[in-house]
């Protein structure tokens, strides 16, 4: 799938749409989901233009991949949901069957309460 430069997360990265920022570095941006499904619902996105996890793993530099996954764990610590704070769930929807709505790679972080069934 070709990357859509006008997707909503691309606009957030460009500063055209506001977000409630949690964390940012040269490689990633993390912000609160606009429509939280749990007490804590954060998103982590790479700054590079990747549609989904498969695109990312195939085309990103190793440093980008390393920084992305490190950032998920870092954000979980910042939000006090890490493995020593009760835990959390991370999730990435991929393409149609995965239920992906925004075509820019993102991982969800759900926490702050019991997350429940793995899939419904
Ligand atoms: P997906 O279904 O693609 O895995 O998840 C997309 C997520 O992006 C949804 O949880 C949705 O609430 C969130 N979202 C969509 N538009 C915006 C927005 O403009 N700002 C923020 N912060 N989140 C958004």
Q: Is 102 in the pocket of ligand 1 (CB under 6 A)?
A: yes
Q: Is 115 in the pocket of ligand 1 (CB under 6 A)?
A: no
The number of folded domains in the chain is: 1
Active site residues: 106
pLDDT at 29: 98
What distance in Å separates the CA atoms of residue 60 and residue 46, rounded to the nearest whole number?
10
Q: Which two tokens stand for residue 25?
A: 């570095």
**Position 120 confidence tier, pLDDT thresholds 50, 70, 90:** confident
Residue 90 CA to ligand 1 centre (angstroms): 14
- From the CA of 37, give the closest atom in ligand 1: 10
- Sequence length of the chain is 120
CA distances for 106 relative to 19, 75, 84, 86, angstroms: 14, 13, 24, 23
Which tens digit of pLDDT belongs to each residue from 75-110? Answer: 999 999 999 999 999 999 999 999 999 999 999 999
- pTM, full prediction: 0.98
pLDDT at 47: 98
Residue 85 lies in a domain: yes
Q: Is 107 in the pocket of ligand 1 (CB under 6 A)?
A: no
Residue 117 lies in a domain: no
Residue 51 lies in a domain: yes
- From the CA of 31, give the closest atom in ligand 1: 22
- CATH assignment of the domain containing 101: 3.30.428.10
Residue 56 lies in a domain: yes
Q: Which two tokens stand for residue 43?
A: 């998103």
């Amino acid at each position: 799938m070709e990357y859509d430069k006008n997707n909503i997360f691309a606009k957030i990265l460009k500063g055209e749409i506001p977000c409630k920022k949690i964390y940012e570095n040269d490689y990633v941006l993390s912000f609160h989901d606009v429509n939280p499904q749990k007490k804590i619902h954060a998103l982590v996105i790479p700054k590079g233009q990747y549609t989904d996890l498969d695109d990312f793993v195939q085309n990103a530099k190793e440093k980008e991949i390393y920084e992305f996954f490190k950032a998920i764990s870092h954000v979980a610590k910042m939000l006090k949901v890490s493995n020593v704070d009760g835990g959390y769930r991370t999730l990435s929807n991929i393409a149609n069957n995965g239920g992906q709505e925004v075509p820019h790679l993102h991982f969800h972080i759900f926490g702050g309460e019991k997350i429940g069934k793995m899939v419904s």
